[in-house]
Structure 1
């Protein structure tokens, strides 16, 4: 007897080939009905034998499309309906958006083969996509995910593309981004003045320009990239000078995995993520480097390189044509957001790029490349930047009926929004000191409320009263007449780890270790070396690194030598005189005498140690001193490590004593690497000692300091099986996790 059922699928089920997959599955089981997208996901109506419908349902859940992530699924019997076959019907929305958004996906292997096959009709077409790959979030204006809701709407499919779109056996069956060279996106190569360069194939000409030492701004599918020959020191140096980026490492695009593995040692886990649908930049040690990369120009003074593989058709064709690794860094002036508009690119980058490779597909949501690193010894994953391919969804359960907008931090800003049953976290936006970044930040907040057609009921901000994120949150609260609540910065960090791992319901206490550069504390001092406990929905600060003077405000983070000056005692006068002029010494000594603002920052302690060891006195990019410090460590044996500090008294780690002992070792001529290893071991020991004092066996760690993968490995090794450790796993430990931490804290912590 024929019965009828309704199936609802929620999660990441749009823009991933779900409807065509359902169509073919229904054909396989001989079922009639329909499938469509709606504001909540995918809705399926089926009529047929109950046994076959059950088999269909089970198969769909167990074998969904490879890019899909089913969150919930429901099967319910309905009044019997008669269908004429099975069909994919246009999206029907009856309410507000309540589904996961679809991130961008790297070009699949099949599309790669097509665009490099002279016999294929998409030969050399850079924008080939299918249901398994291509831009999604970058070109989406609203959901449900349909062509008319994306920037592909202006490109009407030709007869050949329509045939593919309608063919259930074709992988482009109902592919909303389908196009080809006859009906799709067009490339345009120009010089810096904007004059068109015609004649040769644009990709071939771009490759020849790069080989000749030129810099080309390439409009990729998520924003512009500035590219040059990674084997040409002069071209790289020219890019550094023009982009005003003197030492920060550049990302390197390798043409193929095979060439990369000839040049660098790549682990299995690194290979897997390099070739994943997310295809982030992966930071890889440059040990056993075998190739002609201009290493020192690409990553000055570093023993690691940021590597990625071609994740779009345009990058794949260019890389194939070149056959050499190239620089592929964000298309912007240093510290500004990535550019996606051609007119803006020509205006802002005219003095940087020699040529521009543009296309006429509009990008609605520009994104930087995501960045991931694995620790060398224990392969712990650390996200350095969460953006293309990883945002804007976030799979973490937050129990709330409220609609919440969390404004995040200031330096590495993100936004978190709960407008429905899902949590969304924006791509990395950047430092809100810069107007262009702040402008994009404000536009992103406005875009979310427009996309979901709902305003928040509560706004969460950082406790720092002068953060632009806080100020904008206060403005929105006043504009919309809704309450604004503040969450202390480091408590948000701690809550982000608790939230990621679902630890709020634990009956046993958890120690929180939050180390970073800066954050406004509950006592109005600058925190950054904090210990907390969490138990029964209560969070308490139980310790911190000993306070030292916070000098020269934000300048302290830019000049590690100032952190050194703050911690220096009389025995360090010789070093002070080497690093400062007499006038500076007088000014900073005067500041120390009257300074009331103190800090417990472990980030600034790293700076001070880097300056003491003459590794870095002035940062040219954020965190440079800490990165260079970690870079000094090539290997260590835990059994040979010694802690500079033996005890924590009344919850206070003696920062000044620690620094004085490091100085003593340095003056005695001890090897820098040994000093740094023991410094990191001391920090590791402090974590375990605090856990012992609090009688706690579970430890959650967050903050930018935990981007140091040597420190992460060392803590895991020392903790062994005696302690259960938690780190940020799908968020960066840096301030990108603050927006999520604000939401988690607000929902679960008594306040």
Structure 2
């Protein structure tokens, strides 16, 4: 936290003084002005406090010792959800002011404010919600200064009701009295509402006819779910498709309608105790589940009433708790867990508008539980897991987005468009980079429009003037095409370099470092498919010092969906045409003889069989060879099964992935051939799959240490989608620490492509600061 020099002269401290305090950080939407009002009036101080685009401005006058006490209270005991990054104090001439007030917000000036994510219902509001004697009993939009919607309803800054979606709901007399009462916790709570003046519920049939309103709508929706129907529920940042998680037939219908055969569904439970009855919940996981962000948390699943098709073959369950009053009421009404999956079809953005939901979710939902509070921007549920006992965010969304990260040496005005999958957008300001929310995959026209809208929204909300658009090297990415349409000058940052830069920025670090960027697919500057890269980054540029030994992918893009093709390409690179006859191996046996012949021809001629250094495809090949997955219906499915196979147990000998030194100036190679030889020998000897999977992971962890020794860099950054693998990350971190290195891995920013926009903006800024080309 930054603090300007403060008055310390004893004579000045004894006299009446006037100070102007500027408080920067997350200080709007957290009850900061009411907090300052109470602290100032308690000390007999005069003046005012107001919101501004820069944060909170306070002009306060009185006894100098009382002013110092106010300053110390702001610094040491701010509201629970506030985060102060700078507290600046300036002396002013006293004016003989009397009384303290909350002044009208200041709308002009640069916007350095940190935006507040949406907050889960607090315990005091929950108690009122369930109290039959309270005037907000069973009101599904109850909130206060400590909880409720923020980012999802903000239309403009500074944060005042008139600049949010709540401007459509004028306060009734009772709510207005609370809003202006300094002793009330709804004092200047901008989303304040009650049944008399706030948003209302309605239950619609599939064609849009109103079936019920208010509490009857909620009760009717619960009854529909009990009867096995699928209800589209408009929540905080968009629609969920909700079904009884215990009902095998309902879950099967949801999978068929959503065209999602295998990818796990999230499950919302009525209570923490209900989660604990099904899953292993560590103290760290419990803290994460109960946090104000209320993310989906991946937990070890012990068993219970959940239908197997909710997370088929998965040892973990994505569990979350209710986070809005509406969800609390619905889950209490039901008393059992429900599937709560994004209200969209695959490749499309989450639906936020109830009228549009009737069109886009037609055929998916049997009924619609809607409300009339507009959702200003879409927000999926955040997704998290524990790595080494600490949280790791896999989807940067509701409760976390937007995130502001201080980054030194980066100037304002860099607008980053992210990647193609799990994309997000980012914008640099003078002192920080703001990363927006998860937008999903850009696989449809609707998703591309949502991406363009998110870029425009971030620029508008922060009142920024972008001067440079930063994108991925891949010319076919929709995110890059969107940036081209902005008309801004453009630069690109290599995909894997952006991964490394994102992790460094998250930790407040700058080069030099060794970046280990492992993922499924990313275009390299040489035009080939990268994904198993070792990059040395410095303050003036970067260099690829090692890579995974390349192997061909027969059928190209088809190999992403068919791990058996990656296995065939790997075997062919190792053993030539002899590989085509290895029909004792599961992936080879999975091809019809004619298919093997055609693919063999492609491999022999080097036609439609592009070489790749992708670690993700290497994981796919291993999973296919072990018989775990021959075809995938979602990204990372095969690699996930390989991770799960490497369960707890006594580790055996790690497979060897030697780093083959290259001629001076050339790229060294991580050779998978010895590991492949050992793996095939173990398969044919009937060694347990868990032992093989364990040896595979530990061998790769040892290879990272060898590469770090080769690079001579003490700081080692682990980034890219492969480091969503908790087992791989944990063994790699342990091995690096044992070798005397400092490992950095993702915590707050996803290791997958959800962090690319941050990395693009940061790298472009660093290189601009160094006077280098961002894509050098």
TM normalised by structure 1 equals 0.95
2:611 aligned with 1:598, yes or no? yes
Paired with 1:563 and 1:258, the residues of 2 have a C-alpha distance of 43
Segment of structure 1 superposing worse, 69-78 or 563-572: 563-572
Paired with 1:529 and 1:261, the residues of 2 have a C-alpha distance of 38
Among 531, 536, 546, the alignment partner of 2:534 is: 531
Alpha-carbon spacing, 1:656–1:433, altered in 2? closer, same or farther (3 Å)? farther
Aligned to 2:63: 49
Aligned pairs for 1:127-146 (under 5 A) are 127-146=141-160
The CA deviation string for residues 500-549 of structure 1, in whole angstroms up to 9 with x for no partner, is: 223326xxx52211100111112211110001223443322110011111
Q: 1:648, 1:686 within 8 Å by CA — same for their partners in 2?
A: no
Aligned to 1:486: 492
Aligned to 1:743: 761
Paired with 1:68 and 1:382, the residues of 2 have a C-alpha distance of 22
Q: 1:648, 1:690 within 8 Å by CA — same for their partners in 2?
A: no
Q: 1:644, 1:662 within 8 Å by CA — same for their partners in 2?
A: no
Segment of structure 1 superposing worse, 453-462 or 166-175: 453-462
Paired with 1:27 and 1:533, the residues of 2 have a C-alpha distance of 56
Aligned to 1:370: 382
2:219 aligned with 1:204, yes or no? yes
Among 189, 193, 216, the alignment partner of 1:175 is: 189
Among 490, 495, 503, the alignment partner of 1:497 is: 503
Among 723, 742, 750, the alignment partner of 1:732 is: 750
Q: 1:100, 1:422 within 8 Å by CA — same for their partners in 2?
A: no
State the 1:646 CA deviation.
Answer: 4.5
Segment of structure 1 superposing worse, 148-157 or 648-657: 648-657
Alpha-carbon spacing, 1:553–1:434, altered in 2? closer, same or farther (3 Å)? farther
2:553 aligned with 1:554, yes or no? no
Paired with 1:93 and 1:731, the residues of 2 have a C-alpha distance of 31
2:22 aligned with 1:5, yes or no? no
The CA deviation string for residues 581-605 of structure 1, in whole angstroms up to 9 with x for no partner, is: 2343233223222237311000001
2:593 aligned with 1:582, yes or no? yes
Paired with 1:535 and 1:195, the residues of 2 have a C-alpha distance of 62
State the 1:553 CA deviation.
Answer: 3.1
Structure 2 gaps, min length 5: 1-14, 573-577, 663-667
Aligned to 2:323: 311
The CA deviation string for residues 316-360 of structure 1, in whole angstroms up to 9 with x for no partner, is: 011111111111111111231111110111112121111110000
Paired with 1:725 and 1:196, the residues of 2 have a C-alpha distance of 56
Structure 1 gaps, min length 5: none
Aligned to 1:361: 373
Segment of structure 1 superposing worse, 92-101 or 405-414: 92-101
Q: 1:419, 1:455 within 8 Å by CA — same for their partners in 2?
A: no
Q: 1:504, 1:537 within 8 Å by CA — same for their partners in 2?
A: no
Runs of 4+ deviating beyond 3 Å: 419-422, 535-538, 644-649
Paired with 1:557 and 1:472, the residues of 2 have a C-alpha distance of 25
Q: 1:99, 1:422 within 8 Å by CA — same for their partners in 2?
A: no
Q: 2:539, 2:766 within 8 Å by CA — same for their partners in 1?
A: no
2:422 aligned with 1:416, yes or no? no
State the 1:738 CA deviation.
Answer: 1.0
State the 1:398 CA deviation.
Answer: 3.8
Segment of structure 1 superposing worse, 345-354 or 532-541: 532-541
Aligned to 1:458: 468
Aligned pairs for 1:461-476 (under 5 A) are 461-476=471-486
State the 1:99 CA deviation.
Answer: 1.1
Aligned to 1:630: 643
2:645 aligned with 1:642, yes or no? no
Paired with 2:763 and 2:212, the residues of 1 have a C-alpha distance of 57
2:264 aligned with 1:249, yes or no? yes
The CA deviation string for residues 66-110 of structure 1, in whole angstroms up to 9 with x for no partner, is: 111111111111121233310001112232422111211111111
Aligned pairs for 1:72-221 (under 5 A) are 72-198=86-212, 201-221=216-236
How many residues align? The count is: 738
Paired with 2:267 and 2:165, the residues of 1 have a C-alpha distance of 29
Aligned to 1:428: 438
Q: 1:398, 1:747 within 8 Å by CA — same for their partners in 2?
A: no
Instruction: Give the secondary structure class of the aligned counterpart of 1:690.
Output: helix
Segment of structure 1 superposing worse, 231-240 or 692-701: 692-701
Aligned to 2:519: 516
CA RMSD after TM alignment: 1.7
Aligned to 2:7: none
State the 1:572 CA deviation.
Answer: 5.6
Instruction: Give the secondary structure class of the aligned counterpart of 1:3.
Output: strand
Paired with 2:348 and 2:433, the residues of 1 have a C-alpha distance of 27
State the 1:475 CA deviation.
Answer: 2.6
Instruction: Give the secondary structure class of the aligned counterpart of 1:567.
Output: helix
Aligned to 2:396: 386
Alpha-carbon spacing, 1:380–1:172, altered in 2? closer, same or farther (3 Å)? closer
Segment of structure 1 superposing worse, 647-656 or 402-411: 647-656
Alpha-carbon spacing, 1:580–1:40, altered in 2? closer, same or farther (3 Å)? same
Among 537, 540, 545, the alignment partner of 2:543 is: 540
Instruction: Give the secondary structure class of the aligned counterpart of 2:17.
Output: strand
